[in-house]
Structure 1
Amino acid sequence: MQEFFKEYLQVHGYWVLFLGTFLEGEAILIFAGFLAFGGYLNIYLVMLSALAGSFLGDQF
């Protein structure tokens, strides 16, 4: 079950984070930080996705 969750997050985690930060979701960014700390997501891709989502959400 844990492998399925890890694979699912690696496929969908970054675009969900992008969408969440685009829509002003700070809670999803905190959750993504915990997932990166746990090794489920790459911290650099989390930062890039959150930066892009926040910036584009602000500009939109």
Structure 2
Amino acid sequence: MSSGAAGLAWFKSSYSGSDGDSCVEVAVAEQAVHVRDSKDVSRPAFTVGREGWRDFVRFVPER
């Protein structure tokens, strides 16, 4: 699902390296979480519901 993501507060994970490669940025909104490629922010972000994001991060291993 894509979304217009203007005006959102984007952030990178604290696990992202300083090299800037292979990173995503996330913006949390009231009803959804938006995700985009940090190397090319002009490309459309995708949006997932907060419940779907919660389920996703539940299965992502911690470093």
TM-score of Structure 1 vs Structure 2, range by shorter chain? under 0.3
Q: Which has the higher helix share?
A: 1
Greater relative contact order (Cα 8 A, min sep 6): structure 1 or 2?
A: 1
- Structure possessing the higher radius of gyration over alpha carbons: 2
Q: Which has the higher strand share?
A: 2
TM-score by length of structure 1 reads 0.28
TM-score by length of structure 2 reads 0.27
